[in-house]
Amino acid sequence: MTKVPIPTPDTYRFHISLGYFVAWLTAAEQITFARTFNRWARQLASKSPVITLGAPEFCSFDDMFAFHRIMYLG
């Protein structure tokens, strides 16, 4: 489907980092998490420039060296 050549598909491992739900937080943990997250978000916002991105694009590609836009999404 993607036409990305994979020489050894039986051993190829796609990797992406995601957060997985494990258990509900207690009320105290929710408060601690919210405070910590909000502090982190404020620090990040104060130290990071605003990055303006264009519209998402739907692309085709044969390899990771070139992406050919088919259309804009949005």
Positions of E strands within the chain = 57-63, 66-72
pLDDT for 38: 98
Low-confidence stretches of the chain (pLDDT < 70) are 1-4, 9, 12-15
pLDDT for 58: 94
Q: How many domains does the chain have?
A: 1
pLDDT for 67: 93
Residue 51 sits in which domain range?
1-74
To the question of pTM greater than 0.75 for the whole model, the response is no
Query: How many Cβ atoms sit within 10 Å of the Cβ of residue 67?
Result: 13
